[in-house]
Amino acid sequence: MTSNKPPRIAFQGALGAYSHEACLQARPDGIPVPCTTFEDVLSTVRDGRADLAMLPVENTTYGRVADIHRLLPQSGMHIIEEAFVRVRIALMARPGTTLDQIKHVRAHLVLLPQARSFLDTHGITSEPAADSAGAAEELATNGPAHEGVLASSVAAKIHGLTVLADGVEDLDHNTTRFLLMAPNADHTPRGEKMMTTFVFEVRNIPAALYKAMGGFATNGVNMTKLESYMVGGSFTATQFYADIEGHPDDPAVKRALEELDYFTNMLDVLGVYPAHPHR
């Protein structure tokens, strides 16, 4: 990827999705490349049709995003940045439509409960859609005048819809964390604070996880995330996904990782990247 050429960023969803919003935040000059599935996002980068991949990894309300932890270790990709997108929900409709005319809305199944108070207050019924941004595109093309869509305001701008109400979500803290990934790793120190993400599998010995985690405690390394997930259809083969503060070359982090390596069958660093200011 050349430095003087806008990067092509693959993401899951239609133009105007929250993943697209994350792309705009990370690379305002980037060229968005919509994809159908998370697997398509990764293959699009591997095939050279995009330079970077933007993937959601967790949400403050709904927890981790399904399948991402399973896909990352085998993706051949490396985390180079993180992005946090505040999930602001806008009610949009075709131009000329007023709020009192809206009787029904469509949105992704996850968004609908987040705007329940607003919908109930205005007597608006709802229907799940496969994709909120996709629903916005469909509404702009041939949707009825009395129907609206709940999605990001970016979707309204892209598809020529009018925002009738913004910030209709019940919770004012709902945020999704995204990972910006590239084919090549970049472990150079960047910024005042760095993060390191890795996956590992502990050895089959008593108290292996307890002993592996001890190295981070004794060396004063803050672990901000630790999640387990089964692999290979086995109840015994468990992998762990972890985020820690610091760079692998920091003396304390280096000692902690060396101690972790002693108690693991597998240890794979997925990325070293600057901590986002949202942290």
95, 159: one domain? yes
Residue 221 is part of a domain; what is its CATH number? 3.30.70.260
Where residue 232 falls among pLDDT bands split at 50, 70, 90?
low
Residue 3: inside a domain: no
User: What residues make up the domain containing 212?
Assistant: 194-274
Averaged pLDDT score across all residues of the chain:
93
What are the distances in angstroms from CA 12 to CA 32, 48, 68, 110, 204? 10, 17, 12, 15, 37
pLDDT grade, residue 1 (50/70/90)?
very low
Residue 2 has pLDDT above 50, yes or no: no
Mean pLDDT of 14-21: 95
pLDDT tens, residue by residue, 168-180: 999 888 899 999 9
**34 and 64 co-located in one domain:** yes
Determine the pLDDT at residue 217. Answer: 95
- Would you name the residues annotated as active-site residues? 176, 178
Number of domains composing the chain: 3
Tell me, yes or no, whether 63 and 116 share the same domain. no
How buried is residue 216: exposed, middle or buried, by Cβ count under 10 Å (0-12/13-18/19+)?
Answer: buried
Strand-pairing partners, residue 264, are: 202
Task: Looking at the structure, tell me whether residues 139 and 266 fall in a common domain.
Answer: no
Q: Do 146 and 36 belong together in one domain?
A: no
Query: Is 70 a member of any domain?
Result: yes
pLDDT at 43 over 70: yes
Residue 4: HSE in the Cβ half-sphere, 13 Å Cα cutoff: 0
Q: Which of 182, 207, 239 is where one domain is finished?
A: 182
b/e sequence 61-78, b meaning 16+ C-beta within 10 Å? eeebbeebbeebbebebb
Q: What is the pLDDT of residue 219?
A: 97
Are 122 and 20 found together in one domain? no
Q: Is residue 111 part of a domain?
A: yes
pLDDT digits (tens, 9 = 90+) for 49-88: 999 999 999 988 888 887 888 899 889 999 999 999 999 9
Sign of the CA dihedral with 210 first, then 216, 218, and 221 last: negative
**Does 2 reside within a domain?**
no
What does the angle CA 36 – CA 81 – CA 38 come to, to the nearest 5 degrees?
Answer: 15
**One domain for residues 132 and 251:** no
Cβ proximity of 99 and 165 under 8 Å: yes
Looking at residue 128, which CATH number applies to its domain?
A: 3.40.190.10
The one-letter code for the residue type at 1 is M
Co-location of 152 and 216 in the same domain: no
Q: What is the largest CA-CA distance in the chain?
A: 67
Q: What pTM did the predictor assign?
A: 0.90
98 and 60 within one domain? no
Please tell me the distance from the alpha carbon of residue 139 to that of residue 161, in angstroms, as a whole number. Answer: 8
Q: What is the pLDDT of residue 62?
A: 82
